[in-house]
Amino acid sequence: MSPIDAVVLGVVQGLTEFLPVSSSGHLVVFEALLGAQQSGVAFEVVVHGGTLLAVLLVYGRDIGRILRDTARALPMLLRGDGRGAYALEDFRLGLLLLVGTVPTAAIGLLLEDTFKALFSSLSAVGVAFLVTGALLHLADRVTRRAEARIRPLSPGRALAIGVAQGAAITPGISRSGSTIATALLLGIDRVRAAQYSFLLSVPAILGAMILELRHGLPPVAGGLLPYALGFVAAALSGFGALRVLLRLVRLGRLGVFAWYLWPLGLGVLAWAQLH
């Protein structure tokens, strides 16, 4: 892999990981239309690490507060003071992240082969793009209604958001789009919905890296420079994409991506029928 290829792939990964357009769906389309080959497990792990760094740069303080409150809560739990531990706001958020991670992990592990089969179906990817666009548009419409009520992030709602994240293993279903849209449809306020979505992505990205490495780290071909460039490109583009998406969510403009996903989905379906 050339350094230029590494930068391009890193930028694409960083942008599509956080913008609600599905990185996996774009990978399938890219490979099908251009005849590109997969970049390899080692490079995938590296760019996932770059996108993980982007989340840590934006939400590092939140993660620090969760860890701090967890450290404070553990002695309380050992003393049997569960009520006192649960009163710690960021400890509660950590528990809700755990609740959301459980269905994601279960879906990923139990249905991995089923979802992998979809990577060979352009038609499935096209439909998934359309579904993601519809979900984003619906979330915007619902949250703009004056009568929309803000509801707290409860264990049940966290579980539902985790299921949405698990379903995003489907190529063409955006992880960030499905989790934020689901949270908004459940009545979670915009800032909290985005925060929970991206904090929930941390264990998801780590899990993806572990799954890619479960058979061992493959040999690194072509030197370390392309991998370093891919990491930096993914981190910087991911950081920028995350900031842009957060602003759009706050402005209630998540549905703008539907106008990209709908023609893309129809185009992919047309291409699949012709080929």
Whether residue 220 is predicted with pLDDT greater than 70 in this model: the reply is no
Q: What is the pLDDT of residue 64?
A: 96
Whether residue 38 is predicted with pLDDT greater than 90 in this model: the reply is no
Q: What is the pLDDT of residue 6?
A: 85
- The mean predicted confidence, pLDDT, of the chain is 88
Highest mean pLDDT: which of 79-83, 151-155, 180-184?
A: 180-184
| DSSP type of residue 254 | G
Distance CA 131, CA 151 (A): 25
106-118 confidence digits (pLDDT tens): 998 888 778 878 8
Strand ranges in the chain using DSSP code E only, listed in sequence order: none
Whether residue 47 is predicted with pLDDT greater than 60 in this model: the reply is yes
Q: Tell the residue number behind the tokens 């979900």, with chain if given.
A: 135
Q: Tell the residue number behind the tokens 């909290």, with chain if given.
A: 192
Whether residue 216 is predicted with pLDDT greater than 70 in this model: the reply is no
Whether residue 202 is predicted with pLDDT greater than 80 in this model: the reply is yes
